[in-house]
Amino acid sequence: MRLSAIILLSLFFFSSCMTPSSNTNVLDSDAYYKYLSNSSRPSLEKAQEQLTFWNARINQDSSGVGDLGPTASAYQQIFAQTGDVSLLNNAEKLYKRAIEISAHSKDNYARSLAALYITQHQFKKAESIMNSLEGIPSNKIETDYVMFDILMELGEYEKAGDHLFAQIDKSKFNYLIRRAKWEDYRGNLDQAIQHLELAKDIAESADDKQLKVWTYTNIADFYGHAGRIEESRDHYLKALSLESDNSYSMKGLAWIAYSNDNNPAEANRILDSLLVVHDIPDYYLLKAEIAEAQGKNKEAEKLINTFVQKAESPLYGGMYNTYLIEIYADRDPQKALRIAQREIQNRDTPETRQLLALAQLKNGQLIEAKSTIENYVVDKTFEPTAALRIAEVYQAVGEETLSKKYYASIADARYELGPLTFSKIPTPKG
Amino acid sequence: MNSITITAPKALKTISLVALTFMGSIMITSCGDDDDDGMMTEPTVELTGTYAQEDFMGRPGITTVFGGSATVKNDYNVTAPNPTARATFQPGFQAQLEGYHDVYGDALGVALDYEANILGLDAATFTTVLANFDALQVAPEGQTTYFNPTTGLALSGRALTDDVIDVSLTLMFGGTSGSRFDGNNGTPQLTSDGVGLGDRQFMTTFPYLEDPLN
């Protein structure tokens, strides 16, 4: 903790455009204690009720295509609540069957299946199911939206933009949230937030719980990235007040505790309460980072092992590949390189390319690493992680000036990167 | 050990479109240009372009009963539910309402005219209300009812137990008392279609309806 404060101070003198984190504590556990101690799962119960209902109808009349979609959707909701990834395969089967037997809504089910494949990180499959719609009457607007979602994941930003800006009505919720994603990709965080705020107005005027929860949690993330931590906290809490078992918001609060409030114990308390009901690999990874930040390296190692063991389950497919690449970069560089190359086959984005650069670096392929970042990462993304990687690669190849420039560009990204990663940024001299 | 670069959450995962069928629209005023001048500008929601009517056919009842011709029905369904746009439909609706009374009058062999209904609306006012404000409405916080005789609250939505047709018929033929032609005292039964709820049981939680009959 102290170390990062010192780094912050020195960075402050390094350049006037950097603003150190204020480090004002913003969390008050009274505000969310009731959600922590609450083991009831209303959202899960509701999803299970839906599943029972629609499943019973399928069993009675297996030809009823109308029951397949809601059943699949119920499986997806239960997955979101429990992390039980095998349920996604059930949903996939149902959507496929619906596409097969539906007479006039094939496009609708295809979009749902594509969205499911995105969740599973099977982006190419998502694209091919959408392409298979060619010649079938389809709702153009919704198809454009799904194509945008897929192409953004695949790193085909220009094409994604075509689908987005083809929209005539630019006041729709579905447009605004995607425009926000677009602006974020372009590095316009303020514009992204403003579009999400417009979407929030719609969700609130519709008074639709699901839309509100979705918007609050996502806008909370963005406020966090903009350094507006109090607003971030408030929106996670707003989501929780509507959905007491919203684990995503709890995880967001845990990040605030860890990264802004320098309170790893509290972050762990939140994560441990989540793990009781929602056992997904993500939490182990964050707990590992927190342990390492606390200097508990053995414990961190153990938590990483747990993460790897869970994340490598075949059921997840490649959903956790990006983290696995980073982990193996240290433990088994060649394996990291293999996963990175596979991941680039899956989606060729600045994010996956910077991971390839990391793997190349760890394999001693300095020239390749440099060429990877210069061709595929530099000026192609505004994510602090990418800037960090660029700086590391330049440092490794001895390009001190460039390295310093990129380290300096993330000097105010302490909250986003987290104190541990941030503490590893070399202190600028002079 | 090298740490993994976990960052602050930023998912912005798209929600499935199934969950997002809501079609809201908002209007905001432009506050500045979207130029790359380095200034922070409010995003402007662009409202230019060619718009197409999405749907106003949520409540086909009124136009079915009062529309008369297919052309009127189609025109009505694509006209925004506000007094300016809908004004042209009122005279036709009133003629239709009075026409129904003429038909029954002829059948009964008496002169018969519409009588102000239980809400106190005369023919012109009643058909103005129908023409101008007929749209599927939802009361997110208040009572959802087609018509509550106790409070007089009307058209804030439809509860499953609301007998929509009987309410409509009562408003058309019930007169000031609501029982002008209710089949009693030698009158024809015009205020009910005679179809009730049967033995259906509605629930207050999902799925709200009982299991279908096998």
B38 touches chain A (CB under 8 A): no
**CA of B79 vs chain A CAs: smallest distance (Å):** 19
d(CA B111, CA A394): 97
Q: List chain A domain ranges.
A: 169-244, 320-430
Q: What is the ipTM of this complex?
A: 0.71
> What does pLDDT average to in each consecutive run of 10 residues of chain B (214 residues)?
70 50 26 35 57 58 86 83 86 95 90 91 92 74 83 80 89 92 89 89 84 73
Measure CB to CB from residue A76 to each of B16, B20, B43 and give the nearest one: B16
Residue B11: its chain A contacts at CB < 8 A? 217-218, 221, 248
CA distance A51 to A66: 14
| pLDDT given for residue A15 in this prediction | 31
- For residue B2, which of A382, A342, A395, A359 has the smallest C-alpha distance? A359
Burial classification of residue A288, based on how many CB atoms lie within 10 Å of its CB (0-12 exposed, 13-18 middle, 19 or more buried): buried
Instruction: Give the Cα separation of A109 and A99 in Å (integer).
Output: 6
Give, as one character, the DSSP assignment of residue A112: H
- Determine the distance from the C-alpha atom of residue B20 to the mean position of all C-alpha atoms in its chain, rounded to a whole number: 21
What pLDDT does residue B91 have? Answer: 95
**Per-residue tokens: A148:** 């945008």
User: Class of A320-430 per CATH?
Assistant: mainly alpha
End-to-end CA distance of chain B: 64
- Model pTM? 0.75
Q: How far is B142 from chain A (nearest CA, A)?
A: 13
Q: Do B10 and A420 touch (CB under 8 A)?
A: no
Q: Give the contacts of A259 (CB within 8 A, at least 6 positions apart).
A: A414, A415, A416, A418, A419, B8
Percent of chain A that is helix, strand, coil (3-state, to 5): 75, 0, 25
The pLDDT value recorded for residue A357 is 98
Q: Judge if A169-244 and A320-430 fold alike in CATH terms.
A: yes
Task: List the single residue in A49, A198, A415 with the smallest CB-CB distance to B206.
Answer: A49
b/e string for B157-169 if b means 16 or more Cβ within 10 A? ebeeebbeebbbb
- Does B13 contact A at CB distance below 8 Å? yes
CB contact under 8 A, B24 and A173: yes
Residues A259, B3: C-beta atoms closer than 8 Å: no
Secondary-structure class of domain A169-244 per CATH: mainly alpha
Domain boundaries, chain B: 60-173
Nearest to A213 by CA among A192, A188, A242, A247: A242
Confidence (pLDDT) at A320: 94
Nearest CA-CA partner of A222 in A250, A193, A195, A247: A193
Put simply, whether B25 touches A (Cβ < 8 Å) is yes
Rounded to a whole number of angstroms, the CA Rg of chain A reads 22
Q: What is the pLDDT of residue A340?
A: 98
Cα–Cα distance between A42 and A242 in angstroms, integer?
11
**Is residue B40 within 8 angstroms of chain A, CB to CB?**
yes
Measured between beta carbons, the chain A residues lying within 8 angstroms of B15 are 210, 214
- Ranges under pLDDT 70 in chain A: 1-23, 38, 61-63, 428-430
> Would you call B10 helix, strand, or coil by DSSP?
coil
pLDDT on residue B50: 66
* Chain B nearest C-alpha distance from A260 (Å): 10
User: Which pair of structure tokens corresponds to residue A100?
Assistant: 């097969």
- What per-residue confidence (pLDDT) applies to B77? 79
Q: Do A60 and B214 touch (CB under 8 A)?
A: yes
